Structure 1
Amino acid sequence: MRFMSKALELNQILDKISKYAKSDTIRDEIINLEPMTDQDSIESALTETLDMTTLIVRSGVMPFLEDYDIHELLKYASLDRSFSIQELLYVRLFLLMERDIIKYNRELERIKISTLSLTRYFQAIHSHASLLEYIQSKMDEDGQILDSATPELMHIRKDLSRFDKQLQDKLQKLLVDYSPYLNESVIVIRNDRFCLPVKDAFKNKFKGIVHDMSASKQTVYIEPEATRQITAQIEQLKVQEEKEIQKIVSLMSEEVHHAYASLKDNLDLFLTLDFIQSKALYARTINANKPSTNTKGTILLMKAKHPLLDQATAVPISLELNEEMKTLLITGPNTGGKTVALKTVGLLTLMTQCGLLIPANETSNIAIFDQIFADIGDEQSIMQSLSTFSSHLNKIINMIENVKNNTLVLLDELGSGTDPNEGVSLAIAILNHFKKFDIRMMVTTHYSELKSYAYEQSNMITASVAFDKKTLKPLYYLQMGTTGSSHAFLIARRLGLKEEVVADAEVIYQGRQTDLAKVMEKLNDEMLYLERQKEKLALEIQENRRAKKELQETKDKLLNEQDQIIESIKQKEEKQWNQLKDEVRTIISDLQKKKELTNPEIASIKFLLNQRADNEKILRFTDELIIGDQVYIIPYQQYGKIEGIKNDEFRVVFGKFDLYFKSTDLRKDQEKKEIKKTIRQEKPNIGQTPEKKATFELDLRGYRFEEVKDAMDQAIDRALLSGLASMRIIHGFGSGAVRKAVYDYIRTSPYIKTSRFGVEGEGLNGVTIITLK
């Protein structure tokens, strides 16, 4: 009688959990589950169940097969008994399940899901991959022994196939040869022998053995003499085949015998995991959580629901019992939830001590008791929302005889069912007796005298089930610190009892009501008001905390995004910096390979070094480019005109150049006309002769011979970068030394296409006109 589980409907919970088990062994274990009293064992069981629920949510259920329990077969293995093919099929299925569970665990490791308290079970699993491979090499999934199981079996089955074909060919030939003597051209089987349906009149003309006769006596089924020898050989081969199959089955049985110990270990592990998973799967259906546990007698339930009620509509309750307040007296109208509260506390305590998660907030704290006594009416069914209030004195007598410290006592309608005065006196005496022990107790009642008694006790607290006076409907949740009324007058008036009768009852009640009862009623109303204000304040605090949490999350998110943006910019700049360093290293490497640089080469290197910095400053436009647009060429810092488009590239003509560019290298020219006015003035009828300006001519008069080369290099560099097609070199007549230096340069320069002396109006032989490539 340590735990009155049936009165609290624990058996119904265990029955529901057992339906999730995959083996009869675990189903029976769950049905017979008993509450534990060791806190460490309880905590371990709760933690394992909680971790399994996490595992199921993140990775799905474990791949257990239905009825995988092969403990009976393993008993045979310990006795070295040979298995049947059907039994080997069960072993094969068990090994396949083992393989899938190992894969399941490897997947958990791959995606880095910690199995926490379940790790030790997964790590202890043995792999029998070689045994499974061996069995699959001998037998298919339907239990058929494979031809390739042994060379002998393959040879026998090849002979069987050959003789069977000979037999069929012979029978077909006989059908043709003896067709006039046959009733039908078919082959039939009688007594496991192939026979032909011979007409009775010709049976003596057909050599063979008669195996049967038709009901009409018109047909005789004869096994032809010509096929008997072949049939005999086939039968002999089948005997050999059966012997070889038995040999193969014995070999597979021996392999299973050798793995007996590790297979039994795995079975025990799988049964344990199946047990834990069954509890976890049920826990998910009732939105259960893991409560804390204690050995100090503290019961703290937060938003707890009875697990057999509809979890979507059940009203949660919250209550607390501890060392200071050891007894809770619950009052209120019928069907208001008093008995539900008793059963909820008792059942959730039993579930916790069975290692089951409970439908309550995770902040709940459950005391571990050595005994749980319950006297709850006639063991009503809470699933039908029925409530009775009859007491069973024999149960209470049994409780009094067996009570001891660390016991939870649940009493429904204590003292009812007899004379009220005697019932109250008896109830108070029972409570006084239980007060001698360090126990926790919950009692429901309608007696006002018990309410007064509770107020006088230092270690008792009252609670009432909430009731809506307007709708006359119970609200089911508990209001701690208050005493409830039965609301008999309100209910009677609402149901239609004559007003004069109800009024008379109220007058009689007021006359019998004591001053203490009136004070208690007034205090109760004030406490209810304060409770409502407390709930309102709690909601506001909760809303403020939620808003604060959202603000903090937003702040953290923005700070995180800021850090990411800064890091992205940093990485981008570092990448560009590294690219620039690589380009500089390349240029330096190229320079080191050259002994001497020409001015055009120096200009080209300067252009490369300056190109990136300039390009970074250029604003890129996304204007659509079409043929005929005047554009600015970013890499060359020149203006040109689009003359064609091929794929995603644009053909641009500028100066003497005709090249293809990407759209990102071009932008529409917004200022070309203005620039043209400042750089080049259009003059009619000047042909190909460049204007006599500093950018189009080089005056070498007064230069020494050795100075000409540097001056030419610089002038041609500027002309090439500016896109000029020709230049006017003034060297004068003089001694001819400067002109010779000019022509020596022209002959060796790779950038000059043609050269000629000037014509009249250009300076004649004192000037040389060059055309650039």
Structure 2
Amino acid sequence: MIYPINASDKLGFSEIKEFIKAKCLSEPGKEMVEKVQPQARFDQIDRFLRQTSEFKSIIQFDAALPVDHMYPIKPLAEKARVEGAFLLEEEFHRVLLSLRTVFAIIRYFNEREGQYPNLTLLFEHLPIEKSIVRSIEQIIDDKGKMKGNASRLLLALTQEILKAEQEARKRIDSIYKTAQGNGWTADGSLTIRDGRLCIPILAENKRKLKGLIHDESATGQTAYIEPEEVFHLNNKIRDLEFERRREVIRILISLTDELRPHIPLLFSYHGLLSKLDFVRAKALFAIDIEAEMPELSKDAEINLINARHPLLYLNSKKDGPTIVPLNIKIDDVQRVIVVSGPNAGGKSVCMKTVGLLQIMLQSGILIPAEATSKIGVFKQIFADIGDDQSIESDLSTYSAHLSKMKHFTEFANGKTLILIDEFGTGTDPLFGGPIAEAVLEVLNKQQIRGVVTTHYSNLKGFASNTEGLENASMLFDNVAMKPLYILQIGKPGSSYAFEIAQKIGLKKEIIHLAKQKIGTQQKKVDTLLVDLERDKKDVYDTKVAINKREKELERLNAEVQDLQQYLEENKRVILKEAKEEAKHILKTANKLIENTIADIKTVQADKEKTKDIRQQFESVTQQLTKQKVVAKPQVVQDAAVDNSVLEVGDWVRINDSNTEAQVLELAKNNVILAMGDLRTVQKRANVTKLRSKDAKKAAKKSTGAFSADSVSSFNPELDVRGMRTEDAIQKLEQVLDRAVMIGYPSLKIIHGKGDGILRKFIRDYLRKYSQVSRYEDEHPDRGGDGITYAYL
């Protein structure tokens, strides 16, 4: 499908695979990445892309998929398939962990039935055979060791060995004390020699103690003797251990025999884990390059919108230059795009971006382009990139190019995508140009699709006058003398050879002499192209400025409309409150008049008393007329702020406490906010989004108030050795709470081994603590079960 074989490597596909392999958790997953190749079947490509897109949604928006243990089951199943062979304890443990992962994954998708239909196809009709897990769990413990009660005989042998070891230790301790009392022993205590516990005896006393001499000191003054009584006991222990080992092997053989009928199912489980690991790695890579799933077409067409070269994009994320997106369309009308323009202007990157994204898409990998992009499926991808000269094959650079052109013209068709870099170079331009034009004419008649880069003027002219070919150029700022990396369809571009030479500092007389040596017609064409580029640049800059102005006007218009709506709402509120206040005043006034009349009647129109009543009436009337309708103060600038469009990272003000905070997560009607190290949950209605100016102030204030010192001063290692259980749990609770507040990922809890009581209480507490996702022992070389790691 791809010609030549190394074309995909030259386009950068091997590097893409290396990035994806780095995301895999298992070797089988990496092997699948290594084998991935572009496909030509539409339904297969569509399924692979949708699986990756669905896994990407799981990673970004759903609960984590349980993929803690993804050991390769296939080699273990192949070993177990052989009659008479048996799996070791640690191998059964790996099978057990992998099967638990498989069953957890199947349950995960069963709980989300219909939500991820394409991923569900990976394990459709795959049963959960719990009998395998139960059989292994009866024999193997969670540490990968055989349980002491795996069989009655094993339990009896284990107890007998323990009893014999205790007896041997008791006897040697007694003999050692007697030898010490008699003054026979050398300095030091009991020691191990040849795997046996021995007593250090002075050389002159070694005949006084019956036993086997295992070793002597370098000076010969000390002999290491195993007492005769203990020697026989240790031999008995050794015999019991051999018998126990035989019983262990018998149990493992029996368990392997039980597993053997399920070998085909184990292969299916292995395939599921490998495929999920593979799809997961593709999804993680898609997130890294901000990839989307475009619209897939059955026609041979390409319409890339805001596409980016994935490798350049990854480099740009590491403080590199900003990537200029590519927009290019290849269809029935413009089948071949002939790209010209200045050196180092981005022609080759444009062509390689098209080729690499096409290979990625047909390999089931999401591409860094808008989801509105539309890409078809090609049966063949031919590429001529770089120098393929070969001494062994007696090929020069140009011969290598011509051999590829021969293959292209013989096998290309309407379902072929052809990519040619620097078309026609490698030989005398006087002959290379016409040959390239002839090849392009033949390929065009075969209805191929493709991208061709060139500096040859005859190819630019041929593309302008030929149906199916379309000129394009990479824009160049001939004032600042730098490329813009923007593809412009419709017109050819100048190579800007003289302008670039002048900028580099080549002598003027050399440039002038060179201009005289080229033909007058060619000089006019090149000058015309330069002027055309300048005009295009002016038009482009004007278009950008107009678009910017239109967006600004749209924003201002939206703000004005929001403000008008706010004023209208306020106006209605003020009028309503004014009417209510007027009703209240009128009601109060009527009541006052009625009371005044009643008072006058009561005093029977007494002159002095009536005068006092009149003064009281006027005083109350003045107070009522002074009252004004006061609307609740509202901040006009917040009118245009819409809380319904809150996003993660926005700054808001909590209405109840007038406190500023930053949005961490959005969940239906609630928002999770961060105030420095603290976290809080508020209703959306109880927060007001800050404008950009106020948000910057809040962010600056937050940075000053909550520095990184609080995080850097936090110690994730907690030592509770020697503490009482209550004190240890209290200390652990404080450290856990602080770790959750600052978002720390894990804690190291040193509790020691001892009788294991403190370890048990600590783990019981961690199990109840909802923020702890899991916990595990330290590596045996660094403390083992005396240290617990808790992951948040």
- TM class, shorter-chain normalised? 0.5 to 0.7
Letter in 2 for 1:18: K
Task: Tell me by how many angstroms 1:186 deviates.
Answer: 3.0
CA distance in 2, matches of 1:541, 1:40: 43
Deviation at 1:64, TM superposition (A): 3.1
Following the alignment from structure 1 to structure 2, what is the Cα–Cα distance between the partners of residues 25 and 546? 53
Q: How many angstroms does 1:246 deviate by?
A: 2.1
**1:263 and 2:266 are equivalent in the alignment:** yes
- After superposition, residues 141-156 of structure 1 pair within 5 angstroms as 141-156=142-157
Whether the 8 Å contact between 2:334 and 2:470 is mirrored in structure 1 is yes
* Residues 261-340 of structure 1 aligned to structure 2 (within 5 Å): 261-311=264-314, 312=316, 313-340=322-349
Q: Which residue of 2 aligns with 1:372?
A: 381
Q: Which residue of 1 aligns with 2:648?
A: none
The structure that has the greater radius of gyration is 1
1:196 is matched with which residue: 164, 184, 199? Answer: 199
Aligned residue in 2 for 1:120: 121
CA-based RMSD of the aligned residues comes to 4.0
Name the SS for the 1:309 alignment partner: helix
Which of 228, 245, 254 matches 1:225? Answer: 228
Deviation at 1:37, TM superposition (A): 0.7
Q: Measured at CA, do residues 547 and 367 of structure 1 come closer, stay the same or move farther in structure 2, by a change above 3 Å? A: farther
Identify the residue that residue 468 of structure 1 maps to in structure 2: 477
Q: How many angstroms does 1:504 deviate by?
A: 5.6
Aligned partners of 1:156 and 1:241 also within 8 Å: yes
2: distance between equivalents of 1:24 and 1:553?
58
Alignment of 1:11-410 (within 5 A): 11-59=14-62, 62-65=65-68, 68-80=71-83, 81-102=85-106, 104-105=108-109, 109=112, 114-121=115-122, 124-179=125-180, 180-184=183-187, 186-311=189-314, 312=316, 313-378=322-387, 392-410=401-419
Tell me the equivalent position of 1:2: 2
Deviation per CA, 1:34-80: give whole Å up to 9, x if none: 11111111111111111111111113653435761121111123334
Residues 551 and 9 (structure 1 numbering): CA distance in 2 closer, same or farther, change over 3 Å?
Answer: farther
Contact 1:482–1:527 (CA under 8 A) maintained in structure 2: no
Alignment check: 8 A CA contact 1:126 1:266 kept: no
- Letter of the structure 2 residue corresponding to residue 216 of structure 1: T
User: Letter of the aligned partner of 1:272 in structure 2?
Assistant: K
Task: Compute the displacement of 1:530 (Å).
Answer: 4.9
SS in 1 for 2:119: helix
Alignment deviations for residues 94-150 of structure 1 (CA, whole Å, 9 cap, x no partner): 1343354356446x63xx992232133355454355543443343334433222323
Q: Which moved more, 1:162-171 or 1:273-282?
A: 162-171
Give 1:464 deviation, angstroms.
0.6
Distance (whole Å) between structure 2 residues aligned to residue 556 and residue 326 of structure 1: 52
1:421 aligns with 2:430: yes
Judged with a 3 Å threshold, the aligned counterparts in structure 2 of structure 1 residues 258 and 540 are, in CA distance, closer, same or farther, namely: farther
Distance 1:539 1:127, change over 3 A: farther
- For 2:512 and 2:223, how far apart are their aligned partners in 1? 105
User: Contact (CA 8 Å) 2:56, 2:284: kept in 1 or not?
Assistant: yes
Alignment partners' CA distance in 1, 2:100 and 2:446 = 57
- In the alignment, residue 415 of structure 1 is paired with which amino acid? G
Q: Give the 3 Å change call, closer, same or farther, for CA 258–549 of structure 1 in structure 2.
A: farther
How many residue pairs match? The answer is 563
Q: Is the 8 A contact 1:296 1:323 kept in 2?
A: no
1:309-360 Cα distance to aligned partner (Å, 9 max, x none): 0354211111111111111111110000000111111111111111111111
Aligned to 1:455: 464
Query: Which AA in structure 2 matches 1:271?
Result: S
Q: Is the 8 A contact 1:8 1:346 kept in 2?
A: yes
Q: Name the residue aligned to 1:611.
A: none
Superposition TM-score, scaled by structure 2 size: 0.64
Distance 1:506 1:495 in 2: 17
SS of aligned partner of 1:435: helix
Distance 2:118 2:521 in 1: 63
Query: 1-side partners of 2:342 and 2:289: how far apart?
Result: 28
Relative to structure 1, the CA distance from residue 517 to residue 315 in structure 2 (aligned partners, 3 Å threshold; closer, same or farther) is closer
CA shift digits 1:224-280 (9 cap, x unpaired): 233344334323322332232223323332343243333222221111111111111
- Say if 1:513 and 1:504 are closer, same or farther in 2 by CA, change over 3 A: same
Three-state SS of the structure 1 residue aligned to 2:485 is strand
Report the 3-state secondary structure (helix = DSSP H, G, I; strand = E; otherwise coil) of the residue aligned with 2:214.
strand
Q: Secondary structure at the match of 2:311?
A: coil
CA contact (8 A) 1:24 1:67 kept: no
Q: CA deviation at 1:394?
A: 2.7
The one-letter code of the counterpart of 1:428 is E
Q: For 1:183 and 1:364, how far apart are their aligned partners in 2? A: 86
Shift of 1:517: 6.9
Aligned to 1:481: 490
What displacement does 1:15 show? 1.8
- Say if 1:389 and 1:413, in contact at 8 Å, map to a contact too: no
- 2:467 counterpart letter in structure 1: S
Q: Secondary structure at the match of 1:329?
A: strand
| Contact preservation (8 Å) 2:475, 2:537 | no
How much does 1:82 deviate? 1.5
**Residue of structure 2 equivalent to 1:712:** none
Q: 2: distance between equivalents of 1:548 and 1:49?
A: 41
Q: 1:453/1:209 Cα in 2 relative to 1: closer, same or farther (>3 Å)? A: closer
CA contact (8 A) 2:388 2:400 kept: no
Question: Structure 1 residues 371, 358: closer, same or farther in 2, change over 3 A?
Answer: same
For 2:310, the aligned partner's letter is P
Q: Is the 8 A contact 1:208 1:224 kept in 2?
A: yes
Look up the equivalent residue of 1:299 and give its one-letter code.
I
Q: Secondary structure at the match of 1:147?
A: coil
Change (3 A) 1:227 1:516: closer
Contact 1:372 1:407 in 2 (8 A): yes
Q: 1:548 to 1:427 in 2, by over 3 A?
A: farther
For residues 531-588 of structure 1, the C-alpha deviation after alignment (integer angstroms, 9 at most, x for no partner) is: 555555666677788899999999999xxx9xxxxxxxxxxxxxxxxxxxxxxxxxxx
Alpha-carbon displacement from aligned partner over 1:720-750 (angstroms, at most 9, x marks no partner): xxxxxxxxxxxxxxxxxxxxxxxxxxxxxxx
Segments of 5+ residues of structure 2 without an aligned counterpart are 317-321, 390-396, 570-583, 585-590, 603-792
Secondary structure of the corresponding residue to residue 196 of structure 1: strand
SS class of match (1:308): helix
Structure 1: 5+ residue stretches without partners: 381-387, 562-618, 620-669, 682-773
Greater Cα offset, 388-397 or 273-282: 388-397
Check 1:51–1:143 CA distance in 2 against 1; reply closer, same or farther (3 A cut): closer
Alpha carbons of 1:199 and 1:389: their partners in 2 closer, same or farther (altered >3 Å)? Answer: same
Q: CA deviation at 1:515?
A: 7.0
CA contact (8 A) 2:132 2:259 kept: yes
Q: Residue type of the partner of 2:97?
A: L
Identical aligned residues as a percent = 32
Q: 1:444 to 1:551 in 2, by over 3 A?
A: farther
